[in-house]
Chain A
Amino acid sequence: MAIVAQSSKYGRVSRATLAWVVGLLFFFPIFWMVLTSFKTDADAVKPEYLLFFQPTLENYLNMTENYDYWRFARNSVITAVFATIFALAVGIPCAYAMAFNPSRATKDVLMWMLSTKMLPAAAVLYPMTFLTKSMGLFDTHFLIIVVLMLINLPIVIWMLFTYFKEIPKEIIEAGQMDGVNTWGEIREILIPLAWGGIASTALLCFIFCWNEAYWTVRLTTTEAATLSKLIEGNRAPEGLFFGRLSAVSTAAVGPIVVLGWFCQKQLVQGLTFGAVK
């Protein structure tokens, strides 16, 4: 490593400085949103209060009154949590079978699943609206849960498959010798062994569900509307409500950004389907 360390001190310092500047620049819009959320709506657009102002929690305290935030947040939590649970419930057995009993068709099935993910959502917009309205499912939690589960199922199965493949087949087979049935194998051998992988898959699935902004906007009106719909509905406040809009935006993305910090590694695997290691 002596050779790599050859670069001059000046070079190293300027490199580190530049890296910090880039990092701070990319974070700046988020910082700005959080900062604005502590200004009153009036202060938020005054240049003299750009950086120094009297911080207030008013925007956060009035979130329910201004935007009915908690109703949308509740919908986001319910739909994302149940979609994730169902995706895992369907995905774990499927990935288990693919990883430990692969057939010649397994590869093709996996590729086909991935291809469903690449279908542009807009292409089936009207049929989805038509079907869900005629079945009375439009704007229900059930519908959003099912749709979120389906659009994330391919990624969930892929991620689980790559994790399960790492587990030695012998361990699972040892269970079979002991006369444990399939359900027991999954519950008592597979899930404890692959716990970390399953947890990060769930986390990533949850994040994708939370941030989804096509179906959650187009297939809801009020009942099942999520935070994406709430923000989208307040797109142009004409500068009057920068403070309160920042607060509700911060509340909408804050938890997810923090969750995201914990699954950076899994993100690479999940989004590139294991093609970059």
Chain B
Amino acid sequence: MSDRRLPRLLQSPAVILLLIWMLIPLGMTLYFSFIRYVLNSLRRPEWTKPALSNWRGFGNYEFVLENKDFLLAIQNSLFIVCSILFLTVILGVLIAVLINKAFPGRGIVRVLLISPFFVMPAVNAVLWINMILDPVLGLQGLAVAGINDLISSLQNAPVVGWFFSLWPQFEPISFRATQTSAIAVIMMVTWQWTPFAVLIFMTSLQSEDQQQKEAAILDGAGAWSQFRFLTLPHLARPIAIVVMIQAIFHLSLYAEIEIVSRGNGNKNLPYLIGEFANNNIGAASATGIFAVILANIVAIFLLRMIGKTLME
């Protein structure tokens, strides 16, 4: 039995399957992005079938680049992803440091904290946009109504009534609107992914050099400088990994955006592709190629970092 053939044979099903999975659909997307291809066209029925004779060159790319929705979608993708990254990393580091030391009930707090991560995205979005953020019936609406009631009853109170009559009535915010729907998505995804950041930072904190820390304390280092000069540098690598993994996941957010506002005001690239794909396949494919390029920029950095720790 040859030493080389058998391992290859064992790996081949996985490799072949992934190769098919990657190459065929992506190849088709690439092909469609260079031809005129629409699902419905009364005037040009020949465009409704993919064919080389409908070759359009970079026409679809030009069309997409000139479409104002495309720029908005890129902007929005970046706005949503960067906001989530910023919030999850800051919250993640703070919470991980907070629960790194033992305290009564630490195990339970850990379980409470990690739970949001396992909630399926569709439930996450439905729960937040309805039960929590709804301007009338959700907790937000109820809270605002409660505060307004309290203020108006205090306005009739003796002595202090004049003071409260200066207060305005508060307006609840509708998170399905154009300006705010991206904020709702950011909130719900941050809620879901902060636990992930916490979990990774905590795992990493457990391998922090305790002796170094004790030496620092002996040298009179305060809590802040311990954090700044020991903990934070130790967390640099996990932070980079959390940022990149999340970037890859959040660049393809879909369910949350669909559920919150059906893309109203917060279209991202995957959502725009879905919209184009209702008719203009050429444009959807060109947008898809742009999405692949964007994801690859992040992925190259991530793969480099992971590659370093592999095989040690």
Contact = CB atoms under 8 A, between A and B. Distances in A.
A236 B130 contact: yes
Counting contact residues on chain B (CB < 8 A from A), the size range is: 35 or more
B310 A150 contact: no
Interface SS, B side: helix
Contacts, number: 310
Contacts of B15: 94, 109, 113
Contacts of B306: 111, 114, 272-275
Interface in A221-277: 227-229, 231-232, 234-237, 239, 242, 245-246, 249, 252-253, 256-257, 259-261, 264-265, 267-268, 271-277
Contact of A26 (B191, B252, B281): B191
Nearest to A252: B123
A102 B285 CA distance: 38
B119 A120 contact: no
A228 B123 CA distance: 8
Contact of A274 (B6, B191, B310): B310
B11 interface: yes
A27 B192 CA distance: 10
A217 to B, nearest CB: 7
B122 A123 contact: no
A50 B139 CA distance: 9
B125 interface: yes
Given A15-B103, A101-B6, A107 B21 contact: no
A175 to B, nearest CB: 14
B159 interface: no
A12 B103 CA distance: 8
A125 B288 contact: yes
Contacts of A127: 24-26, 28-29, 32
A267 B199 contact: yes
A93 interface: yes
A125 B277 contact: yes
A27 B13 contact: no
B196 to A, nearest CB: 7
Given A118-B296, A125-B284, A150 B18 contact: yes
A124 interface: yes
A77 interface: no
A147 to B, nearest CB: 9
Nearest to A117: B248
A228 to B, nearest CB: 5
A23 interface: yes
B118 A124 contact: no
B10 A150 contact: no
A129 B25 CA distance: 10
Nearest to B50: A130
A98 B12 CA distance: 11
Interface string B172-212: 00000000000000000001001110011001100100100
A115 B120 contact: no
A148 to B, nearest CB: 12
A213 to B, nearest CB: 4
Nearest to A271: B245
A79 interface: no
A96 interface: yes
A249 B303 contact: no
B113 A23 contact: yes
A256 B18 CA distance: 27
Given A102-B311, A111-B306, A260-B117, 8 more contacts: A97-B8, A109-B15, A126-B285, A127-B28, A235-B125, A242-B131, A242-B137, A276-B203
Interface of A: 3-4, 6, 12, 15-16, 18-20, 22-24, 26-27, 29-30, 32-33, 36, 45, 47, 50, 90-91, 93-94, 96-98, 101-103, 107, 109-111, 113-116, 118-131, 150, 153-154, 157, 182, 207, 210-211, 213-214, 217-218, 227-229, 231-232, 234-237, 239, 242, 245-246, 249, 252-253, 256-257, 259-261, 264-265, 267-268, 271-277
Interface of B: 3-4, 6-8, 10-11, 13-15, 17-18, 21-22, 24-26, 28-29, 32, 95, 98-99, 101, 103-106, 108-123, 125-132, 134, 136-139, 142, 145-146, 191, 194-196, 199-200, 203-204, 207, 210, 213-214, 217-218, 237-238, 241, 245, 248, 251-252, 254-255, 258-259, 269-271, 273-274, 277, 281, 284-285, 288-289, 291-292, 294-296, 298-299, 302-303, 305-307, 309-311
25 contacts: A16-B105, A18-B98, A19-B109, A22-B109, A30-B115, A33-B127, A91-B14, A93-B13, A97-B11, A101-B6, A111-B310, A118-B296, A118-B302, A119-B26, A120-B269, A120-B288, A213-B254, A218-B274, A231-B122, A232-B122, A232-B255, A239-B130, A242-B137, A245-B126, A249-B126
